[in-house]
Structure 1
Amino acid sequence: MKKRFWSILVTAALAVSLTGCSGGAGAGKETGKTAETTAETTAQAASENGTAKEKAGAGKRVCIVYSGNLGDKSYNDSCNEGAKEAAADYGVEIKNLEGTSAEEWEANFLSACEDGYDLVICSSSNFEEYMKEHCASYPDVKFAIIDTTVEGDNIVSISFAQNQGSFLAGAAAAMFTQKTDIEGVNPDKIIGWVGGMDIPVLHDFFTGYEQGAKYIDPDIKVLQSFAGTWNDPLKGKELTLAQFDQGADIVMNVASGTGPGILEGAKEAGKYAIGVDLNQDNDQPGSVLTSMVKRVDTACYLAIQSVVEGTFKGNSTSYLTIKEEGVGLTDFSVMKEHLGDKFPEDIVEKVKELEEKIVSGEIVVENYTGFGANK
């Protein structure tokens, strides 16, 4: 399985780099609901490969707190996939706490702190301030945070070079907007980007996206909008349609549960989108050029693995780049099938070239202030 490959590649990085540390939400769920849901994963998942009693993590309890809902087909679902695989492999008990407001996030986090879990995983950077304030008060609890870095003797942090993945997405978008022989692509040199909440990690996404686009075409215009929420597909659709009205013909989704509205807007307008976090190419087939995959599932899995296998080391961080396959683009196969002979193969070739140049260091992708391996 791919996770096994990941464990081999990245466990070493965690064992070494985890000696030094230190968002998204759901479509198909009601916005603003009070969320405390228990994952029914442990017994079922463990039964796939034997009973929980036979597993190395039997008796271990892990709580994951989400700044949004599961069912987003994006960031949160990716995190949950990693948890479910860890439950299957190790027999750990998983509990999910979902929330759509800052009040719920903090309440869920404190509840997890108090309930005696072996590991509390904060799924996104929305929990950073709560961890800084409270983790030291729970020295016997192990914590992990994904998508940012928080220092603490009982904290590990796993973040990503989303700027690198977004560089590739921006380059692909800039090339695609030049293909005026494809239906829905206009002559304007304009592309778009719609984010969920206005937080630093999303600015890191945008920094890379804009740099990648301008690497292809320095004169291109890149529109930017924030929905201010992870949980409002209608808002995402509204902002996307507005960008199409301003001349964009392809918009990148970086909005978790708000994102399905972005993809739907592209389909409705006869335009195009780029997915995020998970492979969203089939969510609106023929309207999604590619997806910028971010391996949140891997981060969640590795955090759980470190507790089960006794390799957890506090005050440490890991940073997953293109080189470690922590970020990257999907293979364009869905769009290839949709466009047939009209599919621009030069985009695929260029993306491979840019990947190689980023890995070699020939291209250095800029970070938003405060992000990157040396932040």
Structure 2
Amino acid sequence: MTRAVVTGLGVLSPNGLGVEQYWAATLKGVTGIAPITRFDPAGYPSRLAGEVDGFDAGEHLPSRLLPQTDHMTRMALVASDWALADAGVDPAEQAEFGMGVVTASASGGFEFGQRELENLWRRGSRHVSAYQSFAWFYAVNTGQISIRHGMRGPSGVLVSEQAGGLDAIAQARRHLRRDTDLVLTGGVDSSLCPWGLVAQLPSGRLSTSADPDAAYLPFDRRAAGHVPGEGGAILVLERAGARPGQRPYGEVAGWGAGLDPAPGSDRPSALRRTAEAALADAGVDAADVDVVFADAAGTPELDAAEVAALVEVFGAGRVPVTAPKTMTGRLYSGGAPLDVVAALLSIRDGVIPPSVNTAGTAADGLDLVLDTPRPAALRTALVLARGFGGFNSAVVVRAAD
């Protein structure tokens, strides 16, 4: 069986640009959640977000790309550049049909789309950019990355909200098993504009707290929603041994997915069987898992369902559980790939990052890692993600031998 290994990482996060900056901030418990600065949020019930600070696309990308791309796509392009550099891959030296791109998206280029719609309403159709035809599209990151790097192999986009980042990684692994050598995968999202925020509010899951330290409290009795964020991670996934000089962070060993029953049903969440499917796909037992990176929805009912699923799969308190996304907010399609990065770095460095702010008072049965990092010998990690609409996904990553 072809083994899929992660050889490069590219990260843009609300608490750090680049892998090592993100990781250092995460281990220190540094949060990127703060009042929204991209626009005036005074008229909205939710006014906090995890914004990527200090990112200037003009420092990293050719000027010709800037007019045709949304903020989200610019971040995805830079994350891809960084991931390839980290892997030591020059796409010009690879077979163009041997490289693919599979990303996830929850929204598309909302900020670009809002600006062009405003031009249409206020100034007329002659003032709408021709790039509007694709810059808003949910598949645009995959398209722009593949064009930039000449990647003409199997490509695609997964749309399953927060779960989509893990589904994209799983699809990339499928392509490797069909003889593609390398796939760029993961997700980068951003919909922090008035249009994007209004689209999120009807879910009823956004926190309305004005306190950055008390707005996103998964597994806490005070939990009342999540904080939206932007950014994410792009990973280089390769067939193990396909390229000389590979330095794998780890292996994507298993994946599972499921869909929750319709609201009001008395059937349980699909999260338990999703996690069990990922473990079975990886050929590991629950006892082999050293750490779980939780979805951590931040609403009482969803948190309770996750606690129940984890206790059913692992037993009470047997495996450490963490949610570093408490420092970034939920990044939608970018959130789970960022958790995969954190899991791989945890295995590399022998340390579990903390969950901050939350007191864990609604986590009975979980060994929740709070406040400070926990040293631990780690080999296998389970990453969970759930998306609005009932999507569930789980990925097992482990050390590369």
Please indicate, yes or no, whether the TM-score normalized by the shorter chain is above 0.5: no
Normalised to the residue count of structure 2, the TM-score between the two structures is 0.29
Which structure shows the higher helix fraction? Answer: 1
- What is the TM-score with the length of structure 1 in the denominator? 0.31
